[in-house]
Amino acid sequence: MPYKKISGVSKPSASTDKHRKEKKQIPKKKTENSISISPLSSADFPIVGVGASAGGLAAFEAFFSGAPPEAKTNMAFVLIQHLAPDHKSILTDIVQRYTKMMVYEIEDGMHVNPNSVYVIPPNKDISLIDGKLYLLDPSSVNGLRLPIDYFFSSLANDRHEKAICVILSGNGSDGTLGMRAIKSEGGMSMIQNPVSSEYDGMPTSAIYTNLADYVLSPKDMIPEIINYVNHLTVNSTNYIGSATNAENALSKIFMLLKNQFGHDFSKYKPNTIIRRIERRMALNQIGTTEAYIKFLRSSRDEMKSLFDDMLIGVTHFFRDPDAFKTLEEQVINKLFDGKDSKDEIRVWSVGCSTGEEAYSLAILLSEAKETLNKDIRIQVFASDIDKRSLEMARNGLYASSVVADIDKKYLHKYFIEEKNVGFRINKKIRDMILFAEQNVTKDPPFSNVDLICCRNLLIYFGPQLQKKVIPIFHYALKPDGYLFIGTSENIGDFGNHFSVANQRSKIFQAIPYSSGEKTFSFSEFEAFSLKPDELFNKTNNFDFPKDISIKELTEKTLLKQISKTAVLINNLGDVLYFHGHTGEYLEPAPGKADKNNIIKMAREGLQRELTIALHRAVSSNESVFYPNIKVKTNGNYTLINLSIYPVEVDSYAHDIKLQTGRFENHLYLVVLEHSSSESLDSIGNYVPGSVENDKIVKRLENELKAMEEYIQTTNEQLETANQELQSSNEEMQSLNEELQSTNEELETSKEELQSINEELTTVNNELQFKNSELTKSNDDMKNLLAGTGIGTVFVDFNLKILRFNPSITNVINLIGSDIGRPISHIASNLVDYTGLVEDAKHVIDTLVPKEIEVMTVNKQYFNMSIRPYRTLENVIEGIVITFVDISQRKQLEQHLIKLNEQMAEAVVSTVKQPLLVLNPELKITFASRSFYSTFVIEPTETIGNFIYDIGNHQLNISSLLTLLREVLSNNSQFNDYEIASEFHGIGKRKFLLSARRLYGEPTQYDLIFLAFEDITDLK
C-alpha cells in the first residue's frame, strides 16, 4: 500500500509518488548503469550509518542488492541492528553475498576505511571517534537500548555534513534522535518507505519529524546515496569560486528567502549557511550556484525545503544534564523567593524548536513548586520561527527513544505512554507553556521575565546579531532575572549588564540599568512589552501610617504664624485643607467640579501674585511675603497681605499619605490677611492724600518688579508644562507600545487556543469513535447474552442485582424493576436448594468459584455457576451467576443409567457363576439367578439381609468379612478365597470367592461385587 503523511502521523495512502512530492523534492531515481562514482580523499569520505531492528535482515538484503557490481563506492557502511545479548549475528555472512566490498564484524578501535562494511557485534554499542570504531558495553536506560541513536550521534560529531543515516524496518523509534543530530550537522537522512517494511515503527517515527530527505524502498537507496555524495563532492570543491561570486550568490539566496518568508539569514554565520545550501544542491543533484538559484526561483517546494533546512536544530530533554542540574540547584528555587499566590513566574525559552527544552524547564519549575508548596502561577513562553517545530511542540508527542534523556521519576510522573507511538507530555505541564511564532531579532520580546533560556541559538548568529540579541534579553529580564545559554556560547561585550552566576553552565544574572541607561533602541520593534511605570521607573507606592491629622498639622502651623485665614497646599497648588473664612480671597472656579487648586480659586487681583509667590516658595523652600495686593471682593477692592510658609512635615511624621492618594513630602501654608497701610476707593484707586508720593513710587516699582517676576514665572511654568506634555507624550507612546505587545500576546494566546481547540476536536472525534465502538460492543454483548440461552445475573458486593438477561427468568422471577434490589428478596423456582445467598457471599469472600446442579419446580435441571466479576484491570466488583440448562443431558444420563442397569442385570443373569452385590454394611442388594439356584435359597431370604446371616450362617467367617470391608476402605480386592461348609439343601460344598469394588453414582455410595466359583467336583 502506498505511503502518505496525514496530519503529522504516517498513514497509508493512494500514491507513493504523491507522497514524495508533498514530503520533499526527491531526485529522480537512476538505474545501476547510470551510476558514476567520483573519487574521494580517503581521509574525508562519507560514512553511512544503517540502522534496523525487527525485519532488518530482509531490509539489509534489499539494501545491498542495489549496490553497484564493483566494490568501489568511496564510502563506508556501518550496520547497527538490535540483537539479543546471546545471539550470534549472521548479518556479516548475509551482506557478503550481495556486495564485493569487504565486510567486517567490528572490533574495538578498528579503523574505518572506504569501500567497506562494518557490522555491530552482539551486546555492544559502538561510537565513531576520529575515524575509529569503539565498542562499549550497553548502558541500559529504563530497560531500553538505543544503539542506533548512540551511533548516529557520534557519526554526526565525527563526519558532520558527510554523515549519512539510513533507517530501515523496525519497531520503536530508535534512530530518530540520532537522525536529528545528523541533520543539524548538515548530513543527509534516508528512510525506508513504511509500505515496504515488515515493521514500520522506526521509519514512521523518523518520517514524523519532517526531517527525512528521502523516503525510498531499500533497493533504491544506495544508487541515490552515490548520486548525492558525487554532487556533494563537486559542490564542496567548486561551490565558492571567488569571494565576490560567493557573496553575490549568498545575497541572492538570502533575498529570495527574505521575500518569501520574511526572515533574513544574511547575518547568520556563513559556514553553517553554506553547508546547508551545499546539501540542498547535492540532494537536487545541481552542480552550480547559478543553476541552484534559478531552480529556487522556479520551485516554491525547494524554497520551503531550504528554509526548513536553515532552521534545523538539535534539542532534547535536559540537554547537557550537568548544566540543567546546576540550573535546578542554583536558580529554579530562587525564582520562588518572595513570591506568593498573587505573583507569577515568567520564563522565556528562545528558539524552543520542538519543545523539549521548554518542557524540561516546566518540569523543573513544577517540581520546585511542589517541593516548596507554593501556589504560584508558572508561565513558560516558548518561541521559535519554525512553524513545523512549533506544531510538534504543541502536540507534545515524542518518540519512545526520549526515555534515554529523561529521569525515570519524571518519565512516570509527567509523561503518558501511548503504545506503539511514544510518550506524550501530560496536561499539567502542557498547560504551563505558551508556544508562539516569534523572531527574536525583530519581533517584540516578552517582558518582566524571571528566566530566559536560549541554548545553542547564538552559535548560529553572526557578531552583529549577537550584539543585538543580548541587550534584548537584558531588557526583557527583571532586574535580578537569569539568562541560561549554551555551553559553547557567551555574552560577548555585555559583561557590564550581566554578572556570572555559574561560568561552567553559562548562567548569568542581569544587572539593573543605571540611571538613564538604555541597552538597545525600542524603535527597532513594532511594539514592546514594557509597562509605562517599568519604562520610566516611577516611584513605587508604599503604605505609610495615616494617623497624623491634617487638621492638627495645619492648626499647629497656624498657631506659629498667628494668622486668621490660611490654606494648606502642596507644591502644585492643590488645596489640602482650609482654615478660617477664605471667601474674601478664594472662590470655586467656574465649570465642572474638579480638585481644588488655589491658583484657579484666587479672586481677581490675587492670582498673579499668588502664582509668583508659590513659585518662589517652592524653588527656594523659604517663606515669601507679598504686601498690599489689590483683591476685588464683592464689587469692592481690598488690600491684603500674602504670605507663604514651607511646612516642616518631617517634624510630625516620616511621610503622610493624604486623601489625594499621593505621598506629599513638601507642603506650604498660604496665609491671607487684610492690610491697613493704605485705603482704596470702590474702583480700586488709592484715596488721595492717604500716602506720600515716594510711597506711591515705591509701590509702583514693586508692582513692576512683581509683573516681571510673574512673566518669568509664567515662562518657567510654560516650559515645565511643555516638558510634562512631552513626558506624557512619551508615556502615551510607551503605553501604545505596551498595548501593541499585549495585542501580540493575545494573538499568540489566540493561536494557542486554536491549537487547543484542534486538540479538543481530535479528542472529541476519538471519544465519538470510542463511544460508537462501545455502543456496538454493548449491542454485541446484549445479543450474545440473549442468544446463548444461558441465564445470567450480575450482582455487586452487596448482593444487589446490577443487570440480567431474559433467560434468567426461567430460574429466578426477575423483572426490570428488580435492578438494585438484593437477590435475597427475589423468589426463585429452585427445588431443594436454598443456599444461593450463602454461596454468593462465600464466593465474594474467598474468590473461589462454585458450581452445583439444581432443579426447578418444572423438573428442569440447571448447572449453576457462581464466579467473581473481574474488570479489565483485574479488580473484583461483584459476582456473576449463570444457569446452564442441562435438562436434556440429565434425561439422557438417567436413560443411560436405566439402560446400563438393564444390560447389567441381563449380563449378570446369564452368567452361570453365583454373584452378589453388597453395600458398605455388607447387606445384599442384588443376587444373580445362578446364586438362587446354586444355594437353593429364595430372594426374600437374601435381598436386604447381611451376608453373614443367610443360610445357616455358613458365610459368617471373620477373615472373609474383614477382607470384604477392606475392599471399600482400602480400595483393594481379593481372589480365590476358599471356603468349605455344609450348605442346606445342597450338602457339603467348596467355593472360591473373589471380590471387587463397584463404583456407584456420584451421589451414592460404592458397592462390593462378590463372585462364587464351585470347585467341589474339581477337588
Residue 842 and residue 850 in contact, taking contact as beta carbons nearer than 8 Å: yes
What integer is the mean pLDDT of 455-469? 84
Residue 388 has pLDDT above 50, yes or no: yes
444 — phi, psi (to 5°)? Answer: -60, 140
Q: Which burial class, exposed, middle or buried, applies to 339 when counting CB atoms under 10 A from its CB (0-12, 13-18, 19+)? A: middle
User: pLDDT category, 754, cuts 50, 70, 90?
Assistant: low
Band of residue 681 on the pLDDT scale cut at 50, 70, 90: low
The pLDDT value given to residue 696: 58
CB-based contact 883:863 (threshold 8 Å): yes
More confident residue, 484 or 535: 484
pTM over 0.75: no
Greater confidence (651 vs 53) lies with: 53
Q: Among 96-110, 395-409, 436-450, 933-947, which is the least confidently predicted range?
A: 395-409
Q: What does the pLDDT read at residue 654?
A: 41
How much is the pLDDT for 453? Answer: 93
Q: What is the pLDDT of residue 511?
A: 86
- On whether the CB atoms of residues 710 and 611 are closer than 8 A, the answer is yes
Average pLDDT over residues 72-91: 78
The pLDDT value recorded for residue 693 is 56
Task: Determine the Cα–Cα distance for residues 107 and 952; give it in Å rounded to an integer.
Answer: 101
Longest dimension (CA), the chain: 194
pLDDT for 361: 93
The four Cα atoms 348, 353, 359, 365 give a dihedral, to 10 degrees, of: -20
Neighbouring-strand partners of residue 144? 141
Using DSSP's 3-state secondary structure scheme, residue 270 falls into helix
Residue 653 has pLDDT above 50, yes or no: no
The pLDDT value recorded for residue 346 is: 92
* Rounded distance between C-alpha atoms, residue 397 and residue 421, angstroms: 8
Do residues 454 and 487 make contact, with C-beta atoms less than 8 angstroms apart?
Answer: no
In this structure, of 595-599, 610-614, 994-998, the range with the lowest mean pLDDT score is 595-599
Work out the mean pLDDT of the chain and round it to a whole number: 77
Give me the pLDDT at residue 262, please: 78
The tens digit of pLDDT for each residue in 413-428 reads: 899 887 766 788 998 8
- Give CA angle at 328 (323, 333), nearest 5°: 150
Note the pLDDT of residue 621. Answer: 84
Tell me if 864 sits within 8 A of 885, measured CB to CB: no
How large is the average pLDDT for residues 473-483?
A: 89
pLDDT reading at 972 higher than 80: yes
Task: Kindly indicate the confidence band of residue 761, based on its pLDDT and cuts at 50, 70 and 90.
Answer: low
Please tell me the chain's helix, strand, coil percentages from 3-state DSSP, rounded to the nearest 5. 40, 25, 35
pLDDT of residue 184: 79
**pLDDT tens-digit readout, 494-553:** 778 888 898 888 899 988 865 445 445 444 444 333 333 333 333 333 333 334 456 566
The string of pLDDT tens digits covering residues 740-750 is 778 777 876 76
Q: pLDDT at position 549, please? A: 55
Which residues, at least 6 apart from 801, have a Cβ–Cβ distance to it below 8 Å?
A: 793, 794, 795, 814, 818, 819, 820, 821, 822, 823, 826
The arithmetic mean of pLDDT across residues 42-46, rounded, is 70
What pLDDT is stored for residue 254 in this prediction?
A: 82
Distance CA 789, CA 809 (A): 11
Torsion region of 526: left, alpha or beta (phi above 0 gives left; psi -120 to 50 gives alpha): alpha
Banded model confidence at residue 362, pLDDT cuts 50, 70, 90 = very high
pLDDT recorded at residue 76: 92
User: Is the per-residue pLDDT at 359 higher than 90?
Assistant: yes
Pairing of strands 449-454, 344-350: parallel
- Residue 665, pLDDT score: 66
User: What mean pLDDT do residues 698-721 have?
Assistant: 72
Give per-residue pLDDT as tens, 285-341: 787 888 888 888 888 888 888 887 777 667 888 888 899 999 999 999 999 988 888
- Report yes or no: 825 and 809 within 8 Å, Cβ to Cβ: no
Residue 268 CB contacts under 8 Å (≥ 6 apart), including other chains: 310, 460, 461, 462, 465
pLDDT given at position 330: 92
Q: Which three cell numbers stand for residue 947?
A: 451376608
pLDDT at position 490 is 85
Pick from 672, 272, 618: nearest CA to 458: 272
**Average pLDDT of 58-64?**
87
Rounded Cα distance between 555 and 448, Å, is 47
